[in-house]
Structure 1
């Protein structure tokens, strides 16, 4: 039986006090740790048992309402398999075919990802003596190893896709995770109810010197479920990682994701993420330029509609001179949706000649919607070029008028302006993302 969240625990959460009883019932409902990450699972569960649930008393969570996530596991929502179907955007049978020169792997945190599949030249599995030493290193280096969503993932994922990248990989690596009603094993008899609703994915990428990889991660969720993602990447000197993340949910689905990246000198990270449809989504990219002298580009687009809550909390730290950062975060809030962005950039004294630019641009389409944006720079170095800014606005009336004066209806004109707003981010996704029609999914176009 799945444990229910009592009124007492719900009240405790609302007041921001300890919620260990709920956590303990959640842990008790999990299957016993197993698989190659058994030791990691034990450590994650011990850490969760010591932590209260995040609350609005915590600065990093003061805008985040965990109620949609708790509802997934409180026993009152429909069981996985009772919603969705083959027409759902998260249905495994509805996945578009892989793009040319793309290798698709399905990840669920439990099964053998490479069963019956081979990796392209330049990609190889880390050996049994390698990945345990590397796993968690970047989480620690970026200061997020003890984050509650990370511990939740570590407590539940039994497998990790751990890859070494050598040279230039010609094929795009596409990693797809389907959570909730349309997960392949959702309807199997005897499946743990918690297991039906929780899909934890763990990925580790080690890029050797001058290696290059395009990777597209796709997280799908349908109905009451949690899609949990932790991705670590270490970029060797002169290496390049082009990373895309598409996160599409429906109904009560929730998403918690961490991207932790360590960059050596002359390495290049280009990360783009887009999200829509989750009852609650929280994504946390964490980057450390270990020696400076690297390039980081972070671009994001998130939509919050109805009563959805979507958060992005990023942190970039320069540990040496001559580092570069370009960050653009965009959000659209409609209905009663709420969008949150908190972007921290740290430039200590040793990070001289850092060049960092951070911009948050937001569209507010409803009087009931809300956008909270907080770009922040912490600068100690004195020889830097750093700037940040934020705007929150509605669709520009003069632009709407211009389009309508040329015979375009108000609805079509608004749609064109929203498309242009989104394309500035989406155009930088890996080419393999085109098959997923991200603009169509994000704007719910027919």
Structure 2
């Protein structure tokens, strides 16, 4: 079955040693051939034709001028290391319809037995397109290859002494005039730095509240950085829009000549906008760092587990303080509801198997499976209200029931962190919502 036609010029057989060596019968094309063809040896055997015979294809009577070896043609790679054979049209259509997995791997070239080799003039008349152009030089032509690539914006592969080089045209940008904006840039950066330090001073109380709620320094960094990104983007966009508007106004009042054209799609405009954003963000690095230090003045940049497991048990005190047992019990009831919601598989890295709430102790007993679930790590967690002095705290006691010890230690951290984050959610609830949980706990404890 012939799926495509490959057009070759007579020069391919004149200068290309591989094409000449691939001919097993007959000859290659010459400048007088038009209604002619070259068949692969596999095709000629099936059709029982030889050089000099005539064949019909697509309503045209073609003279077979030569027979080529299929294995030689199939193994031939052009200078770009791609086959010269046309792509399989069926696979190309399937790929475009996304019905064949594999992406670009689906562009598989046809074999020589599926391609009819014709003179290039005939293929062009039939609607074929030029896929590659080969130029054979008598001497070194690196400068010629570079000139063609720069002039025509094409990829040019050049081979000399067995070495292949690629020449192509790539865009390059040159920055000028930085000296003219350096002083205004430094003044603007200093102004931004001073403004950020003032904002930091005014928001010290706000950051202390965040710290009390358990916000880590990284949270403060992203909080300030998010605000800066919004300000930088909005200010750059507003400046860009106002610049276009004023240009049109000046042109309307004939301040600018009529021949003046606003190039608002230039890459220079994009670079200017990015430069303005960077100039806004860089002076803010130090104030953001200072803000993170205010939240946690020590060297600890995030909450870490204060204890280590002892055998199959691990007791972890949580960093939350409650004024009385009712408030602590309300938080415990809140955690109980959270555990009830995780009795099925969720996005969390654990699944609750059993959960029990005891208002008398008060405590919450949880039996859960930890990820990776195929490791069959089962642990029991008991969250208990502990009184120390006139304040109350929450402690977690973990007991390993099954699973590899080291994996249990690593996987338990995910559950502990989830409980800690849930208590942060408890602290962020409105007072009336927390009061509802406290009242529920009180009614269960003193019923």
TM-score, normalized by the shorter chain, greater than 0.5? no
- TM-score when normalising by structure 1: 0.18
Q: Which has the higher helix share?
A: 2
- TM-score when normalising by structure 2: 0.18
Larger radius of gyration between Structure 1 and Structure 2 = 2
